[in-house]
Structure 1
């Protein structure tokens, strides 16, 4: 591991795998929104290098943030459901317009065929 000293603390810069560490964000209930440095891993393997970037959060934040995240996720899920319903509605409206157009074209073609038939019958007399 490679460390860089910054004042009174050391910052991990590289892991034992030889990779440069990456900064990620924890979304666990115990540390929601807290950033940490760690091994980026290769094909799902991690060497275990880990260091918190942010200080621990207070007890009250640990109680509130998971509930807020849950509400946000519920709202995003509902928004996606509404978008899917709107997409389906638009698709159905598009089909309806297509069917109406096809009906109109069929009516016009039928009308033209009737006129041609009547002309042919009249010209034969």
Structure 2
């Protein structure tokens, strides 16, 4: 099965492609009027694996990144993964982190052992 890359213009915030995770070459767009509205639209989802923000204004991007509820935020790119950088989601998109040193805590369980011999 192969899905052609697809671009869709959403009609409203209630469109299913804005409210469900799609793992495929699908980009869904919805116009907005202000930075506050954009952040509200981006965060109004039960998911938060990743987000991408596209802009020519780097200072605006750096101001917005902390307000975006996602485990990874890419600016002017998408899906670049670096094994040295932790990757994982928030909300209903993944628990914990993979890659980097952060994953060690998720894949190990500490045990204390004390012996008197």
Q: TM-score range by the shorter chain?
A: under 0.3
Higher strand share: 1
Question: What TM-score, normalized by structure 1, do the two folds share?
Answer: 0.23
Which is bigger in relative contact order (C-alpha 8 A, separation at least 6)?
2
Say which one has the larger Rg.
1
Please give the TM-score of this superposition, normalised by the length of structure 2. Answer: 0.24
